[in-house]
Amino acid sequence: MNNLGQLNEVVNTSTEKLVLIFKHSTRCSVSRMALKQFENEFDLSEKVVTYYLDVLENRAISNEIASRFNVYHESPQILVIKDGKSVFDASHSDIDARDLSVLQ
């Protein structure tokens, strides 16, 4: 995700399919570890549309995500969007792809 317009795409897509946003800081070892673990565990790619956000390069988008979906900015962080609303979010060591199986 690299432009604010994609947030409208996220909202629109979320009316038909779950959308996941993974917010990642490329300078943070915790974020790197969380991303790698998530990638290894995530097996819902057919059921969930995923977006990756580099928060260092796209801070304005990260801030808009926090505002639009009413969540506190964290990194690393995942948000699951359904019908235009955040229905699940987790950050740092609480990020676990297995938790998403209950959202299907």
pLDDT digits (tens, 9 = 90+) for 34-83: 888 888 877 766 778 999 999 999 999 999 999 999 998 888 999 999 99
Confidence of residue 31 (pLDDT cuts 50, 70, 90): confident
Asked if 88 contacts 99 with a C-beta cutoff of 8 angstroms, the reply is yes
- Residue 96 β-bridge partners: none
- Sorting pLDDT into bands at 50, 70 and 90, what band is 102? low
Query: Is residue 18 within a helix (H) or strand (E), and if so which, with residue range?
Result: strand 18-24
pLDDT confidence of 32, banded at 50, 70, 90? confident
Q: Enter the pTM of the model.
A: 0.88
Q: Are 91 and 31 in contact (CB under 8 A)?
A: no
